[in-house]
Amino acid sequence: MLQFRCEPVLCSTQSLRKAVPDPMWKILIVEDEKPISELVRMNLALAGYECRCVYDGKAAADLLTDHRFDLILLDVMLPEADGFELMEFIRPLAMPVIFLTARADVADRVKGLRLGADDYIVKPFAVAELIARVDVVLRRYYKTDEAIGIGDVVIRPGGHSVTREGKPVELTPKEYELLLLFVQNRGVVLFRDVIYERVWGPGFLGESRTVDLHVQRLRKKLGWETRLVTVHRIGYRLEAEP
């Protein structure tokens, strides 16, 4: 199995990323369906992002002429101006964009990505997936390799490296993905099916021990026996504060 070479990292407490991004990332949500817009806003706000919602293409364009956002979540089927048209307008502004759309066919995805979008999320989506993708795009776009510190564990997503008390920890790719998922969703109960689908892909069959085995190994390697809490019969939660 492929092993991640983890190098020791020296990190000062200032460079550690806190549970709430600092400075707060500002995200624009362009989505005409009120319930979905509200859903995305609520979850991003819970994950510590500052959000602004607009409900049609024209309003988005108006807002973007004199406001800067760190990320734009863009629906494709919008009144006034659709997402693809809006993308043309956004591109020169140099802001990362994630398409959020019900159109699942490959042609549309390719079109979206060709237009310069950074990612493409198809509805219906899992909330954990949305947050993970937002995190990845922000990190990639702004090239922040800020170390994430949780207790004595420091994670550097840019270098795929994990250290505990300054010593490298060797994690399998699945364990690493699992760790990232927990870190991105701190304080949130992650159901077994959600974990499985995010890390192993679709096809959760119910009574699988895979998730539990990996979580146990992760706990042992990181010394997170108390921090990574089992939620009885449901799943696991990474405590934000010990």
Partner 1 sequence: MRFAWKVFLSGILVTVIALSLTAYWLTQAAFGTALSQEKQKALDRMRMLSVVVESMAAEYSFSSEEAELAGVMRSAATGDFSSAALFSKDRRALYGRAGESAPMEELFEGAAAGLCHVILARDGGYDMHMLMPVQLGVATGYLYLAADVSAPFALSDEMTRTASLITCAAAVAAGAALVVVARLLTAPVRALSAVARAFSKGDYAGRAEVRCADEIGELTRDFNAMADSLEGHMRELAQQARRREDFVASFAHELKTPLTSIIGYADTLRSRALDEEERFRSANYIFTEGRRLERLSLKLLELMVLDRRDFPLRDILTGDVRERLTDALEAVLRGKYGVTLACALPEAAVRSEADLLQTMLVNLIDNAAKASKEGQTVTLTGRCCPAGYRMDVADEGAGIPEKELSRVREAFYMVDKSRSRARDGAGLGLALCDAIAGVIGTELHIESEQGRGTTVWFLLPYGEGEADAQ
Q: Cα dist. 19→50, 75, 185, 213, 238 in Å? A: 14, 28, 10, 26, 12
Would you report the helix, strand and coil content of the chain in percent, each value rounded to 5?
Answer: 40, 20, 40
The least distance separating partner 1 from the CB of residue 133, rounded to whole angstroms, comes to 14
Q: Cα dist. 189→93, 174, 194, 224, 226 in Å? A: 37, 19, 10, 16, 15
Task: For the segment 38-97, give every residue that binds partner 1 (CB under 8 A).
Answer: 38-40, 42-43, 46, 55-56, 77, 79
Other Cβ atoms within 10 Å of 184 Cβ, number: 21
Task: For the segment 1-30, give every residue that binds partner 1 (CB under 8 A).
Answer: none
The least distance separating partner 1 from the CB of residue 190, rounded to whole angstroms, comes to 7
The least distance separating partner 1 from the CB of residue 242, rounded to whole angstroms, comes to 17
The least distance separating partner 1 from the CB of residue 39, rounded to whole angstroms, comes to 4
Among 9, 33, 139, 174, binds partner 1 (CB under 8 A): 33
Q: Does 215 bind partner 1 (CB under 8 A)?
A: no
Among 63, 126, 136, 229, binds partner 1 (CB under 8 A): 126
Beta bridge partners of 167: 164
Size of the site for partner 1 (CB under 8 A): 30
The least distance separating partner 1 from the CB of residue 83, rounded to whole angstroms, comes to 13
CA distance 132 to 22: 17
Instruction: Look up residue 8 and give its two tokens.
Output: 């020791």
Contact 81, 55 (CB under 8 A): no
**How far is CA 218 from its chain centroid?**
20
Half-sphere exposure of 65 (CA within 13 A, CB side): 5
Among 18, 68, 91, 123, binds partner 1 (CB under 8 A): 123
Strands 50-54 and 26-30: parallel
Residue 27 vs 171, nearer CB to partner 1: 27
Residue 32 vs 85, nearer CB to partner 1: 32
CA distance 29 to 35: 12
Among 188, 215, 218, 228, binds partner 1 (CB under 8 A): 188
The least distance separating partner 1 from the CB of residue 80, rounded to whole angstroms, comes to 9
**Residues present in the chain in total:** 242
Among 9, 11, 16, 32, binds partner 1 (CB under 8 A): 32
The least distance separating partner 1 from the CB of residue 78, rounded to whole angstroms, comes to 8
Binding site for partner 1 (CB under 8 A): 32-33, 35-36, 38-40, 42-43, 46, 55-56, 77, 79, 102-104, 123-128, 187-191, 194, 234
